[in-house]
């Protein structure tokens, strides 16, 4: 059976009952893994408290940080600071230089583009080429599709259609996430797949963007963050005196 993940659930961290309500709702809707964006200075205690809330609801928590750098230099600085601390790093690209830098940096997992206006969406063919070689994924949030109305939604669907087509052509993995701040903006995986049909994403690709792509991304990052990881394809299997020396 397919396992689904929502890599962008946005409850109010300061309100434990809100977090619990949204995580329980995620489980009810069929998600077994959720990523909650955390502030960069969050304490370990707070993270373990969140982990407990999620494990009580039978949901696997993924730690995530959203970086919103103004310049590419600021992005590099933030990546050096936070890469080893969070399982998922998402970059909200508000300028073209940041978008290009984020797409070519292997430490970036998700590229997110603000939904306000066509001019702030920099996911074009050049960006996709860089992202595909650096294994970065394009994140598409579904909450704006529900909250926007009229012309704003028409423009958003049009932009998403163009971006999804570019991503598919360039082989950039797409991750669909809810971006929900309230329970009434949360939808099940198959409902998200139906909504993805609005920007011409086929159902099978949409379901992959909600299950296999995010799960493999998290698995890859967890392996990298484990103390046994040495390099891609190399990990410590056994340590101690019993190992023969060369």
Backbone conformation region of residue 150, classed left if phi is above 0, alpha if psi is from -120 to 50, else beta: left
Q: C-beta of 24: minimal distance to another protein in Å?
A: 12
CB 109 within 8 A of CB 139: no
> What is the Cα–Cα distance from 214 to 34, expressed in whole angstroms?
10
Among 43, 184, 232, 245, binds another protein (CB under 8 A): 184
97 versus 147: smaller Cβ distance to another protein: 147
The least CB distance from residue 55 to another protein, in Å, is 24
Number of residues that bind another protein (CB under 8 A): 20
Contact 128, 101 (CB under 8 A): no
Q: Report yes or no: 44 and 72 within 8 Å, Cβ to Cβ.
A: no
Report yes or no: 6 and 185 within 8 Å, Cβ to Cβ. Answer: no
Contact indicator for 153, 145 with CB cutoff of 8 Å: yes
Build a one-symbol-per-residue string for 26-65: x at contacts with another protein by CB under 8 A, - elsewhere: ---x------------------------------------
Burial state string for 174-193 with b = 16 or more CB within 10 A and e = fewer than 16: bbbbbbbbeeebbbbbeebb
Binding segment for another protein (CB under 8 A), chosen from 58-66, 166-174, 190-198, 213-221, is 190-198
Contact (Cβ atoms closer than 8 angstroms) between residue 122 and residue 150: no
Please report whether residue 121 would count as binding another protein according to CB under 8 A: no
Residue 203 makes contact with another protein by CB under 8 A: yes
Contact call for residue 149 and another protein (CB under 8 A): yes
Reference 139, options 169, 105, 115; nearest CA is 115
* C-beta closer to another protein: residue 96 or 190: 190
CB of 184 to another protein, least distance (A): 4
Q: How far is the CB of 30 from another protein (least distance, A)?
A: 10
- Contacting another protein (CB under 8 A), which of 56, 124, 191, 219? 191
For residue 158, state whether it binds another protein (rule: CB under 8 A): no
97 forms part of the interface with another protein (CB under 8 A): no
Under DSSP, the state recorded for 155 is H
- Where along the sequence are the contacts to another protein (CB under 8 A)? 29, 145-147, 149, 182-188, 190-192, 194-195, 197-198, 203
């Amino acid at each position: 059976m397919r396992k689904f993940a929502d890599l962008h659930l946005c409850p109010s961290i300061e309100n434990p009952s809100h977090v619990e309500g949204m995580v329980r709702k995620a489980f009810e809707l069929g998600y077994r893994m959720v990523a909650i964006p955390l502030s960069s200075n969050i304490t370990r205690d707070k993270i373990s408290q969140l982990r407990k809330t999620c494990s009580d609801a039978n949901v696997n928590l993924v730690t995530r940080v959203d970086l919103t750098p103004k310049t590419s230099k600021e992005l590099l600085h933030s990546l050096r600071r936070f890469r080893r601390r969070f399982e998922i790093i998402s970059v909200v690209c508000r300028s073209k230089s940041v978008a290009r830098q984020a797409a070519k940096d292997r430490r970036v997992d998700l590229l997110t583009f603000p939904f306000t206006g066509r001019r702030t969406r920099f996911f074009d063919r050049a960006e996709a080429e860089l992202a595909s070689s650096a294994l970065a994924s394009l994140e598409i949030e579904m909450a704006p599709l529900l909250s926007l109305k009229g012309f704003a939604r028409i423009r958003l669907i049009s932009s998403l259609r163009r971006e999804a087509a570019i991503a598919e052509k360039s082989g950039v993995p797409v991750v669909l996430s809810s971006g929900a701040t309230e329970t009434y903006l949360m939808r099940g995986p198959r409902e998200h797949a139906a909504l993805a049909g609005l920007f011409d994403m086929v159902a099978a690709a949409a379901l992959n963007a909600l299950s296999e792509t995010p799960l493999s991304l998290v698995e890859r990052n967890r392996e990298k963050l484990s103390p046994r990881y040495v390099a891609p394809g190399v990990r410590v299997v056994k340590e101690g005196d019993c190992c023969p020396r060369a």
